[in-house]
Chain A
């Protein structure tokens, strides 16, 4: 009789333990997805700014056609990557495309240096503020995302959670500092 009670107690404790750990993992995964959607919003904001920027710069620097084409292509690729990205590998794909776009952006901003009229125009100054704010937002939401990923990855790997965390993918950090960004040749910034 006593043994039965002990067994019952053990089962209850085990079930409780399972529920707590499982819910913790779900919460961590939701946090990751949630902070990813934050990044998503900010990347969209970045993509939306680009046509406007290109138009403004084109008004002053018509013959930089190659640059405009490159940034338009990079934008299209980044938007494509963003809409296609899913699951654990998504962050890596998006980061690659965004790095290329970042390089193109750097190129266009560097070119602006050569056109004092452009640099002084109110429209360009407003765009500059919007762009630097967007870059900050991406940076901050990226920080939040990487923090959340760190929590999830740690939580699913520690013992004893690793016994039941098979259904939870390990996630990748969102890194914007890979080769792509620096590989694009551009004027000295």
Chain B
């Protein structure tokens, strides 16, 4: 994904510079509005200092801050061996030099995201809800998608933008409040000074800043989700796994605890608000609008399913064209890919021999999902791990689904997420 990496580098630069300009402009306006024309310089200097501080913060601790913001905690191989294994496998497949840190978010809504300043200092986070509804192949697809974000430097841009934007929104917010309380008092005492215009400009900036920042942030998204899907298919060599996972994630109606606008674009599917989760007939993620941070899940699944037995970038590009009539992957990446890559049904957890079917012999495209018996054994194995790592197993009386509830959510899940039947 050579083009995406370059574009992300350029965008990172622009995000940092543009947000710096915005911040300084806001600082100038803020200073002018409160202290008068002399204050503009002071406000600007403070804003510049603030920007420098935030930039240093982003570079040194950006991933930790975002992880903390979403309430993620780090896990290791003893707690969740399968998750750690899957992340390590995908690290190898992507050719990253270092395995990302792995975080778990206690949230029944299935979702995942990646963060980090650069590929060597990245992290992958999944929610407990995700682990409870996905099997190994699907989890592999999701992790491959996230590793794709890391590899394409999307996370570097997102982390930078996330921290910077978070700060701008915060400052705009503070300014609005203090202008509301303090500005009213000031404008009475200085109504004859003729700097009402400065105050007006100040207000304009304060209103515009968060909106501009927001739009800028949204402009970063979308295409990168498709590209990460393409990476996900290529790294896991099994587009069906990711397609099934996206279907499950998109179909989930569990509202997400983390609803911050700052973190929203990081996730693999758009986090669902409680109103959306309860109100919509289907899922709340089907439409794509100008303000969406994510393309529609249905379309992403359709593209993955249209790859026709291939797993490489070329297959994805062709499928993307077939579904949307547009192009997504750059010519240089396609040219560098070389031989086409066939999709391979992954080794089911129960059958270590399966991976020895020759994956790169032409004409030997292994089709479809693993046979039911294998899938069942794989699921049993994954259930055993989950229950060993503290998950609570409940059988739903309504639809007979086996619910796997993480220890931290025990007692908090009152009804079956699939059929809404109250749990015993």
Residues of A within 8 A of B (CB): 35, 38, 42, 102, 105-106, 109, 122, 125-126, 128-141, 143-144, 146-147, 150-151, 175-177, 181, 189
For residue B358, CB closer than 8 A to chain A, the reply is: yes
Considering the complex, which residues of chain B in the window 79-134 have a beta carbon less than 8 Å from any beta carbon of chain A?
81-82, 85-86, 88-90, 92-93, 95
Query: In the complex, what residue of chain B is closest to A99 when comparing beta carbons?
Result: B356
* A186 CB, nearest partner CB in chain B, Å: 9
List, in ascending order, chain A residues with CB within 8 A of B358's CB: 175-177
Partner of A132, one of B95, B344, B352, B385: B352
- The verdict on A122 contacting B388 (CB below 8 Å), with A128-B352, A132-B352 known, is yes
Which residues of the other chain, B, contact A38 by a CB distance below 8 angstroms? 92
Q: Pick the 7 closest A-B CB pairs, nearest first.
A: A177-B358, A133-B85, A140-B93, A135-B355, A106-B353, A131-B352, A140-B92
352-391 of chain B: CB within 8 A of chain A: 352-361, 380-381, 384-385, 388
**Which of the residues B93, B352, B360 comes within 8 Å of A135, measured between beta carbons?**
B352
Residue of A at shortest CB range from B82?
A129
| Known contacts A125-B384, A129-B81, A177-B356; is-contact A136 B89 (Cβ 8 Å) | yes
* Bound complex: CA A141 to CA B88 (Å): 11
Q: Are A141 and B82 in contact (CB under 8 A)?
A: no
Q: Which residues from 213 to 246 on chain B have a C-beta closer than 8 Å to any C-beta of chain A?
A: 235, 237
- A105-B353, A109-B352 provided; 11 other pairs, C-beta below 8 A? A122-B384, A126-B81, A129-B81, A130-B85, A132-B352, A135-B355, A139-B359, A143-B93, A150-B338, A176-B358, A189-B351
- Please, which residues of chain B bring their CB within 8 A of the CB of A128? 349-350, 352, 381
B337 CB, nearest partner CB in chain A, Å: 9
Taking the complex as formed, is B290 at the interface, i.e. its CB lies under 8 A from any CB of chain A? no
Determine how close the nearest CB of chain B comes to the CB of A97; give it in whole angstroms: 14
A136 touches B357 (CB 8 A): no
Tell me how far the C-beta of A102 lies from the nearest C-beta in chain B, rounded to whole angstroms: 6
Using CB atoms, name the residue of chain B closest to A134.
B352
- Partner among A129, A138, A147 whose Cβ is within 8 Å of the Cβ of B381: A129
On whether the beta carbons of A143 and B349 are closer than 8 Å, the reply is no
B346 at the A/B interface (Cβ < 8 Å)? yes
From A106, A129, A175, A181, contact of B85 by CB (8 A) = A129
A161 to chain B, nearest CB (A): 17
| B386 vs chain A, min Cβ distance (A) | 11
A71 vs chain B, min Cβ distance (A): 12
Q: How many residues of B contact A (CB 8 A)?
A: 36
A133 to B88, CA, bound (A): 9
Q: Measured between C-beta atoms, what is the minimum distance from A43 to chain B in Å?
A: 13
Q: Counting chain B CB atoms within 10 Å of each CB, which of A131, A141, A146 scores highest?
A: A131
**Complex interface: chain A residues within 8 A of B359 (CB):** 139, 143
B218 to chain A, nearest CB (A): 34
Q: Please determine whether B385 and A102 come into contact, CB atoms closer than 8 angstroms.
A: no
Residue B335 is within 8 A (CB to CB) of chain A in the complex:
no
Chain B residues, Cβ within 8 Å of A134 = 352
- The distance in angstroms between the C-alpha atoms of A128 and B385, with both chains bound, is 11
In angstroms, Cα B336 to Cα A151, docked, is 10
Do the beta carbons of B355 and A125 come within 8 Å of each other?
Answer: no
A110→B353 CA distance, assembly (Å): 10
Interface contact A144-B95, CB-CB below 8 Å: yes
CB distance from A129 to the nearest CB of B (A): 6
For B5, what are the chain A residues with a Cβ–Cβ distance below 8 Å? none
**Given known contacts A125-B384, A150-B338, A150-B339, is B93 in contact with A138 (CB within 8 Å)?**
no
Residues of B within 8 A of A130 (CB): 81, 85
A141 to B380: give the CA distance in the assembly, Å. Answer: 27
Residue of B nearest to A186 (CB): B353
The reply on B348 being an interface residue by CB < 8 A is yes
Q: Is B346 touching A136 in the complex (CB atoms < 8 A)?
A: yes
Whether, in the assembled complex, B328 has its beta carbon less than 8 Å from a beta carbon of chain A, the answer is no
A135 to B85, CA, bound (A): 11
Q: How far is the CB of B384 from chain A (nearest CB, A)?
A: 5
- Inside 8 A of A181's CB, which chain B residues have their CB? 356
